[in-house]
Amino acid sequence: MAQDNKSPRGSDTIDANLKRVYQDVLDEEVPDRFLALLDQLKAQDAAKSDPNSDSSQ
């Protein structure tokens, strides 16, 4: 992109570092608590919208 035309020297290094900081967290395994939370939210909704079903979770 042309956005770097007037960037100071070293902006390549900065962008590479930025991407790496971000990528390193992206590469981490997502903690189980988040998937568990989504399951919980899903179960709550199911219980609400379908009160006859046996959703005791």
Tokens of 38: 């989504």
Return the number of the residue (1 or 54) whose C-beta is nearest another protein: 1
Closest contact distance (angstroms) between CB of 19 and another protein is 5
Helices (H) and strands (E) in the chain, counts: 2, 0
Residues lying near another protein in the complex (CB under 8 A) are found at: 3, 7-11, 13-15, 17-28, 30-31, 33-35, 37-38, 41-42
Inter-CA distances, 50 with 2, 45, 54, 55, Å = 54, 8, 9, 8
Select 24 or 54, whichever has its Cβ closest to another protein.
24
